[in-house]
């Protein structure tokens, strides 16, 4: 069973003197233990609202929410008591864009605050807090006040605080959006480390595709309260289906845009292929191999390498001249090499 199960979840905000806002509409999303699940979309897409239904900071108006096997919401009705919810929330950490630390308490008190309910002795509490500070590499700042720290350091305190109760899940709502690129990388690396070492399941909301590319293994793309595309990072990234996803993935992977600008026309016996492959598996030069092994001449229109979750992934656009048999042999050869091939027309549409 998935650790987070959202089934047909909707959130509608009722407003006075204005139309209701359907912030989330019929979203079904299952997140497995150990996933780093990226959720991307433009501002107002409903990402925050959706993720807040996981710890019921936002009550859904319809649908089911099951987290860690515990029913939170059934048919839009909360089925967990307030007390139980409090206890469950301790197993679902959350970090925010604005850190949301308590400014009138020191760093270590901020962390201890998360453990207030626990029956740890003072010594145990202190030890636990120091362990957490060590985990985020901030032991020397234990007695500082949050305002004395940099944004990255504050976010690390927030992470330590969110992890105080040994949660299974960490929700991250734009946690790196207020940070500079360097610090963003540090925080993402930390999240990745926590995922690897503690098996922490992470839900990562962001509008920075780079963050998702760096650490996520799955991704969902949201628009107007709906999930328009989701799946494995590699699939969504390299073969985006929804128009929005293509826009989002944008930049170097905008195969369609590239083709439009190239404005090519294919000859009678010519085919256009998009090749996607892991550079870890396919080290040879594909074009040379095609010539040597299959005897076809391929010419390259476009090439790019993306690093997705630590794996270098290449994308090539090639045209291959040859009759039907040659084309068939080409496809067979590429498949055998572990390359994902999609045949496209001149405009970049899949065939």
Partner 1 sequence: MINGLVHWIAQNFPNIYNLGWSGDTGWGTSILQIIYMTFWPSIFGGVLGLFFGVILVLTEPGGILENKFWFNFCDKLISILRAIPFIILLACISPLTRLIVGTEIGDTAALVPLTLGIFPFYARQVQVALESLDPGKVEAAQSLGTSNWDIIFDVYLKETRSEIIRVSTVSIISLIGLTAMAGAVGAGGLGTTAIQYGYRDFANDVTFLATVLVVIMIFIVQVVGDFLAKKLNHQHR
**By C-beta, is 172 or 239 nearer to Mg ion?**
172
Q: By CB under 6 A, tell whether 59 contacts ligand ATP.
A: no
Q: By CB under 8 A, tell whether 114 contacts partner 1.
A: yes
Distance CA 203, CA 29 (A): 11
Q: By CB under 6 A, tell whether 224 contacts ligand ATP.
A: no
Helix 151-162 vs helix 181-198: crossing angle, to nearest 10: 20
Distance CA 173, CA 180 (A): 16
- Could you tell me whether strands 270-278 and 340-344 are parallel, antiparallel, or unpaired per DSSP bridges? antiparallel
Residues composing the chain: 351
Residue 228's φ and ψ, nearest 5 degrees, are -90, -20
> Is the alpha carbon torsion for 238, 239, 242, 243 positive or negative?
positive
Residue 89 contact partner, candidates ligand ATP, partner 1, Mg ion, none, CB within 5 to 8 A by sort of partner: partner 1
Q: How far is the CB of 14 from ligand ATP (least distance, A)?
A: 8
Q: By CB under 6 A, tell whether 6 contacts ligand ATP.
A: no
Write the binding mask 253 to 272 for ligand ATP: x where contact by CB under 6 A, - elsewhere: --------------------
Q: By CB under 6 A, tell whether 47 contacts ligand ATP.
A: yes
Q: By CB under 8 A, tell whether 94 contacts partner 1.
A: yes
Write the CA distances from 200 to 37, 51, 117, 145, 173, integer angstroms: 11, 16, 22, 28, 16
Token duo for residue 17: 């003197």
Among the listed ranges 37-45, 109-117, 271-279, 289-297, the one in contact with ligand ATP (CB under 6 A) is: 37-45
Q: Which residues bind ligand ATP (CB under 6 A)?
A: 13, 21, 23, 41, 43-49, 207
Q: Which residues bind partner 1 (CB under 8 A)?
A: 55, 57, 85-90, 92-94, 96, 98, 100-105, 113-114, 116-117, 145-148, 158, 161-162, 164-165, 171
């Amino acid at each position: 069973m998935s650790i987070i199960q959202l089934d047909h979840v909707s959130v509608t905000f009722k407003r006075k003197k204005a139309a209701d806002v359907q912030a989330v509409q019929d979203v079904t999303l299952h997140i497995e233990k150990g996933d780093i699940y990226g959720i991307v979309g433009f501002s107002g897409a409903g990402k925050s609202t959706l993720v807040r239904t996981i710890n019921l900071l936002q009550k859904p108006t319809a649908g089911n929410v099951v987290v860690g096997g515990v029913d939170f919401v059934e048919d839009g009705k909360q089925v967990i008591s307030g007390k139980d919810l409090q206890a469950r929330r301790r197993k679902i950490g959350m970090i925010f864009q604005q850190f949301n630390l308590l400014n009138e308490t020191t760093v270590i008190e901020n962390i201890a605050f998360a453990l207030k309910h626990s029956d740890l002795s003072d010594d145990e509490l202190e030890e636990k807090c120091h362990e957490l500070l060590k985990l985020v590499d901030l032991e020397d700042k234990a007695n500082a006040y949050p305002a004395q720290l940099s944004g990255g350091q504050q976010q690390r305190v927030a992470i330590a605080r969110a992890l105080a109760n040994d949660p299974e899940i960490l929700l991250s709502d734009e946690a790196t959006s207020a940070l500079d690129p360097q610090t963003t990388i540090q925080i993402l690396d930390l999240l990745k480390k926590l995922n690897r070492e503690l098996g922490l399941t992470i839900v990562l909301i962001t509008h920075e595709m780079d963050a998702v590319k760096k650490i996520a293994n799955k991704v969902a793309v949201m628009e107007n309260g709906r999930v328009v595309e989701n799946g494995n990072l590699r699939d969504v990234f390299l073969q985006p289906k929804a128009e929005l996803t293509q826009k989002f993935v944008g930049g170097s992977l905008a195969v369609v845009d590239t083709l439009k600008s190239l404005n090519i026309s294919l000859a009678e016996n010519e085919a256009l292929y998009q090749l996607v492959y892991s550079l870890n598996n396919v080290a040879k030069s594909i074009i040379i191999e095609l010539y040597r092994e299959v005897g076809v001449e391929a010419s390259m229109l476009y090439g790019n390498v993306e690093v997705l979750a630590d794996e270098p992934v290449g994308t090539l656009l090639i045209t291959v001249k040859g009759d039907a048999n040659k084309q068939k042999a080409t496809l067979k050869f590429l498949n055998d090499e572990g390359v994902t091939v999609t045949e496209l027309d001149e405009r970049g549409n899949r065939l």
